Amino acid sequence: MDFSRRDLFKAGGKLLVLASVGATLEQITGAEPASDAYKMADHWWGMIIDIDHCIGCGNCVRACSRENGVPHGYFRTWVERYQIEEGKQPRVDSPDGAMEGFPPNTRERLKSFFVPKLCNQCAASPCVQVCPVGATFVSPDGVVLVDDTYCLGCRYCVQACPYGCRYLHPQKQTVDKCTLCYHRITKGLTTACCESCPTGARLLVDFKNPKDPVHEILRNNKVEVLKPYMATQAKVYYKNLDGAVR
């Protein structure tokens, strides 16, 4: 065991942590992050999801719910299971958004796979377009956010989202959605869903960072966004996405 180091940590070795993990600064010291630590203009966030790595465990759904206090029965992220028999309509399920994973299905001779969903962080967001007051917006670093002190709760944005990513928060009575864990990514952490994904099926990416793996992934793979005909300039890219997915 490493009592010595843990004691050191407790005794005030926090500085060590601060130096190595600037990300947790606020959380450890309770201090405000330095205002110049994060520059919105330097980032343009998105995500890569690899269908071939998703095992439908629901870790992301639970983590998101825990991290963001998502109300029960509503989802900022969820996982769908597609089962496609040749020539038929796909059968899709997502029990409680896959909060507890999926009941096992061993039917062979079906094309079957999981599809994690979340806000696509569209650059040309239909939801932002329709907000009558400017309570939802694309941040300068490319995340679609809601100002819950300004939202009327008219729910026009919920209607306008082609992907079903928004809901009315039952307590706050304002619209709620995935923030791409904006409170985490602006501190240098990854999103809760990416952090907890055991297979690396989800990857937070920054299109403005020239060293980000996203550039290589986009170059070397055939990728697709959901409902490309909606022309929303979605920034969540799917690797190995089947054409049946809606």
Partner 1 sequence: MWFARKEGVVRRLVRDAGHLIRPALVLLAGVAVFLVVRSAIVPKAFGQYGHYRPGALALVRQRPIAYAGQDTCVVCHDDEATARAAGKHAHVACEACHGALAQHADDPAAHVPQLPDVANLCRRCHEKDAAKPPTFPQVVTAEHSGGMACNQCHQPHNPHL
Partner 2 sequence: MIPGVNGFMYPNEVELQWSVLIVLYPYITGLVAGAFILASLERVFKVEAVRPTYRLALLTALAFLLVAPLPLQLHLGHPERSFEMYLTPHTSSAMAMFGFVYLWYLTVVLLLEIWLEYRAEIVGLAQTTTGIRRLIYRALTLGSYNVSPEARRIDDKVGYAVTVIGIPSAFLLHGYVGFIFGSVKANPWWSSPLMPIVFLFSAMVSGIAAVMVLYVVCSKLRKVPIDMRCLDTIARYLFYTFVIDFTLEMLDLVHRTYEADESFRSLDFMVHTRLWFSQVILQIMLGTLVPLAILAANQLWRFSVGVRKAMYMTAGGLTLIGIFAMRWNVVIGGQLFSKSFLGYTSYKMELVTREGLLSAIALMILPFVIFLVLIKLLPPWQEEKPR
Q: Residues 70-109: x/- map of binding to partner 2 (CB under 8 A)?
A: ---xxx--x-x--------xxxxxxxxx------------
31 near partner 1 (CB under 8 A): no
**Given 36, 86, 87, 107, the residue binding partner 1 (CB under 8 A):** 107
Q: What angle do CA 31, 204, 122 make, to 5 degrees?
A: 105
Q: What residues between 127 and 146 interact with partner 1 by CB under 8 A?
A: 134-140, 145-146
142 near partner 2 (CB under 8 A): no
148 near partner 1 (CB under 8 A): yes
Q: Look at residue 147 and give the partner it binds from partner 2, partner 1, none, a contact being a CB closer than 5 to 8 Å depending on partner kind.
A: partner 1
Q: Look at residue 167 and give the partner it binds from partner 1, partner 2, none, a contact being a CB closer than 5 to 8 Å depending on partner kind.
A: partner 2
Number of Cβ atoms within 10 Å of the Cβ of 92: 14
234 near partner 2 (CB under 8 A): no
Its sign, for the CA torsion 205, 209, 213, 216, is: positive
State the Cα torsion 160-162-167-173 to the nearest 10°: -10
Answer for the pair 207, 236: CB distance below 8 angstroms, yes or no: no
Answer for the pair 185, 68: CB distance below 8 angstroms, yes or no: no
Number of Cβ atoms within 10 Å of the Cβ of 143: 23
d(CA 133, CA 207): 29
Quickly tell me which residue has 């719910």 as its tokens: 65
Can you read off the two tokens belonging to residue 231? 């022309």
Of 20-28, 153-161, 204-212, 214-222: span binding partner 1 (CB under 8 A): 20-28
Contacts with partner 1, residue ranges (CB under 8 A) = 1-2, 5-6, 9-10, 16-17, 20-21, 23-24, 27-28, 40, 52-59, 63, 66-68, 81-83, 100-102, 104-108, 110, 112-114, 134-140, 145-150, 179, 182-184, 186-187, 189-190, 192, 195-200
